[in-house]
Amino acid sequence: MTYHDLSNCCVSEASPCKESPRPQCQSPPVIDIPRMLPYESVKDYIQQAKAHMLQSQEMEADLSLTSHYVDVQLVERSILRCAKNTNKSLDKELAIVGDAERQKSSLGRSQIFEGPTEAKPKRTVLLLGNASMGKTTLIKKLCHDWSNDCLPQFDFVFLLDGKALSLNEPTFSLQTLLLELSSSAPYCLDPNSVFTQVLAAPKRVLIIFDGFEELRDYEVLLQTQEKDLATSLLKDSKKQIYTVRQLYSAILQRVVLPGCTLLISTRPRGNASQLLRRSDRLLEVCGFTSTDVETYVSQYFTDPALKASAMDRLKNSSYLLSLCWNPGLCRLVCLVIEQSKGSDDLPRTLTGLCRQVLWLKMECECRRAQTCDKLSSLAWEGHKFFSLSLSLPLPLFLFRFLCVILTDFLSLALWFSLYLTFPLSRTVAERTFLPQVLPSPSGPRGRRRPQREELELTQRFAIGLLFPSRTQLQRHLGSDVLSKDTVLAKRVSVTQHLEGHCNADLSPAQILDVYSGGMRLAGHLARKLPEVLTFRGVPLGPPDAFVVRKVLEQAGAEGKRFCLGLEDTGIQIAGLRAMMELSNINTYRACIADVINLWEELGQSGEEGLLEGAVSKFKINPLKATQVCHIEHLAKLVSIHMQRRLSHSVCVPSNVLECIYLFLTHYLKNKIGDRGAEQLAPALKTLPSLHRLSLYSNAISDGGAESLAAVLSHMTSLTDLDVKFNKLTDVGAQSLGASLKNCPWMKSLRMWNECIPYGVFERLQQQDHRILSQ
Ligand X SMILES: Nc1ncnc2c1ncn2[C@@H]1O[C@H](COP(=O)(O)OP(=O)(O)OP(=O)(O)O)[C@@H](O)[C@H]1O
Positions that interact with ligand X (CB under 6 A): 59-60, 63, 68-70, 72, 129, 131-137, 267, 296, 327-328, 331, 397, 400, 404
Q: What is the DSSP string of 329-350?
A: HHHHHHHHHHHHTTTSPPP-SH
CB closer to ligand X out of 401 and 562:
401
The least distance separating ligand X from the CB of residue 68, rounded to whole angstroms, comes to 5
CB closer to ligand X out of 125 and 133:
133
Q: How far is CA 393 from CA 132, 388, 390, in A?
A: 20, 10, 8
CB closer to ligand X out of 207 and 215:
215
Phi-psi region of 657 (alpha: psi -120 to 50; beta: other; left: phi over 0): left
CB closer to ligand X out of 74 and 746:
74
CA–CA gap between residue 354 and residue 349 (Å, rounded):
9
Of the candidates 671, 666, 595, the residue with the CA atom closest to the CA atom of residue 634? 595
CB closer to ligand X out of 60 and 161:
60
Cβ(697)–Cβ(665) below 8 Å = no
Cβ(618)–Cβ(595) below 8 Å = yes
The least distance separating ligand X from the CB of residue 508, rounded to whole angstroms, comes to 24
Q: For 550, list phi and psi in degrees, rounded to 5.
A: -60, -45
CA–CA gap between residue 524 and residue 544 (Å, rounded):
18
CB closer to ligand X out of 328 and 541:
328
CB closer to ligand X out of 63 and 466:
63
Of the candidates 697, 706, 643, 634, the residue with the CA atom closest to the CA atom of residue 670? 697
Contacts of 495 (CB under 8 A, 6+ apart): 521, 524
CA–CA gap between residue 766 and residue 773 (Å, rounded):
12
CA–CA gap between residue 684 and residue 620 (Å, rounded):
15
CB closer to ligand X out of 122 and 267:
267
The least distance separating ligand X from the CB of residue 610, rounded to whole angstroms, comes to 33
Helices (H) and strands (E) in the chain, counts: 35, 17
Helix or strand or coil: residue 438? coil
Cβ(585)–Cβ(553) below 8 Å = no
The least distance separating ligand X from the CB of residue 768, rounded to whole angstroms, comes to 59
CB closer to ligand X out of 50 and 400:
400
Cβ(166)–Cβ(211) below 8 Å = no
Residues recorded for the chain: 774
Cβ(91)–Cβ(271) below 8 Å = no
CB closer to ligand X out of 64 and 223:
64
The least distance separating ligand X from the CB of residue 562, rounded to whole angstroms, comes to 34
The least distance separating ligand X from the CB of residue 269, rounded to whole angstroms, comes to 10
Q: Helices (DSSP H) in 112-202: which residue ranges?
A: 135-147, 174-176, 191-200
Environment class of residue 688 by beta-carbon count within 10 Å: exposed (0-12), middle (13-18) or buried (19+)? Answer: middle
Radius of gyration of the chain (CA): 29
CA 743 to chain CA centroid, nearest Å: 46
The least distance separating ligand X from the CB of residue 72, rounded to whole angstroms, comes to 5
The least distance separating ligand X from the CB of residue 702, rounded to whole angstroms, comes to 47
CB closer to ligand X out of 18 and 368:
18
Residue type, 365: E
The least distance separating ligand X from the CB of residue 378, rounded to whole angstroms, comes to 21
The least distance separating ligand X from the CB of residue 19, rounded to whole angstroms, comes to 10
CA–CA gap between residue 150 and residue 71 (Å, rounded):
15
CA–CA gap between residue 141 and residue 127 (Å, rounded):
14
The least distance separating ligand X from the CB of residue 457, rounded to whole angstroms, comes to 12
Q: For 228, list phi and psi in degrees, rounded to 5.
A: -60, -40
The least distance separating ligand X from the CB of residue 136, rounded to whole angstroms, comes to 3
Determine the residue with CB nearest ligand X. Answer: 134
CB closer to ligand X out of 133 and 715:
133
CB closer to ligand X out of 132 and 147:
132
The least distance separating ligand X from the CB of residue 638, rounded to whole angstroms, comes to 39
The least distance separating ligand X from the CB of residue 328, rounded to whole angstroms, comes to 4
Cβ(98)–Cβ(590) below 8 Å = yes
CB closer to ligand X out of 401 and 752:
401
CA–CA gap between residue 124 and residue 252 (Å, rounded):
9
